[in-house]
Structures are given as C-alpha cells and as structure tokens.
Amino acid sequence: MKTANSSPPVRKGFTLVEMTVVIMFGLALASAGMMLLNQQVNTVRIYNEQDFILKEAPRINNTLTSLLSRADAIRLHENFTDAVQDQNPVIADANVLVAAFREVDNSVTFGIISFETIAGEDLLNYYFFDPTQTAPVQGTPSWTISRVVDDANFNLVQGLFQGTLTGPNAEQITYTISPNQ
C-alpha cells in the first residue's frame, strides 16, 4: 500500500528575500571597506604633504646650526659665482651663504651653502672651498643638504643670519641663527 508523503519537499536554494539580505549585507561591508581605504589614503597623503616640515626641516636645522655655530664670519651673495670670487656681497635676498672657518694653522677655509637649480631640480647644496685648492664648480657639491626645498632666501638682520626656506607645498620655515663671532 502506498502512503502519501506528508513532509514538505526539501528546498534547493534561497528565497528572493534571503538573497536580497545577503547582497545588501555584502554591499554594506564593501562600502565600509572602501571608506576605510579612502580614509587611509587621505591620511597618508596629508602626512606626506607635511614631510618637509616633519623630516627635512629638522635635518636642515641641524646642518645650519652646526655649520654656523663654528663659523668665524659669514657673508651672503646673490649667486654662486660671486660667492666663489668674493664679489658683490649683499645683506638681503641672497641665495648663497658663505661661512668662513679659521683652522688650527690659522688658515681659512669656506663652506658655501647654495640654493640652485641644476637640470631642472631645486637643490640646497654645500660646497667645501679651500682657497689653496681649485675653486668648487657649481653643480658638483660636496654634498646635498636637501632636494625638496623649492626656494631659499637668506638675509642678515642685525648681525643674525635669517634663512627662509620654502617646501614643495608652499610651506615656509625661517631659521634665525647667530653665527659664532
């Protein structure tokens, strides 16, 4: 004898409502992930924009302070050629700083800090200059202080060196240092 199966048939899938809920949950999760990624990208961008102030400025400060605290005299020039030839010193709006150092044997050597554009790249360079040797050639520095400075303006204000450096995002920082005199 045959009996009728009274149990409901086994379902082989999801209902439209269940699928809609799962898809909506997946979209919400994906949206939250994209928002977090966007926030992370923006945070990294803002941090990188402040790289000049956070990383380069302290390094430049250490270099300038170290050099100028040992300098016996300083002078400013508008360009590198005038600095090497010791011609046309200025007290404002200079791009080149020359620091004189008296050595133990009473001879004098010079350190030249020059803001210059070489092959389209703005550089803050340092040149060592011993007058008994061949003069340094622009573009062949002893070392580069910074590659991210977009502008440099050096002044002497009441005997103090004042250097204003502009970073790649137009941020400015001004150093005021009293040379060793």
Q: What is the pLDDT along the chain (181 residues), one digit of tens a residue?
A: 566 666 666 767 888 899 999 999 999 999 999 999 999 999 998 888 888 888 888 999 998 888 888 888 899 999 999 998 889 999 999 999 999 999 899 899 999 999 999 888 999 999 998 888 878 888 888 999 999 999 999 999 888 889 999 998 889 999 988 876 5
Residue 41 pLDDT: 95
Residue 96 pLDDT: 94
Question: Using an 8 Å Cβ cutoff, are 88 and 77 in contact?
Answer: yes
155 to 50, 54, 91, 119, 163: CA distances (angstroms): 25, 24, 6, 26, 6
Residues 158 and 177: their CA atoms lie apart, in Å, by 11
Residue 110 pLDDT: 92
Taking every pair of Cα atoms in the chain, the longest distance, rounded to a whole number of angstroms, is 125
Q: With a threshold of 0.85, does the pTM exceed it?
A: no
Q: Where are the domains of the chain?
A: 14-49, 51-177
Cross-strand pairs, 179: none
Residues 38 and 28: their CA atoms lie apart, in Å, by 15
Residue 24 pLDDT: 96
The residue among 163, 129, 130, 124 whose CA lies nearest residue 143 is 124
The residue among 117, 63, 71, 123 whose CA lies nearest residue 98 is 71
DSSP-derived 3-state class of residue 41: helix
Q: For 39-60, write each residue's pLDDT tens digit.
A: 999 999 888 888 888 888 899 9
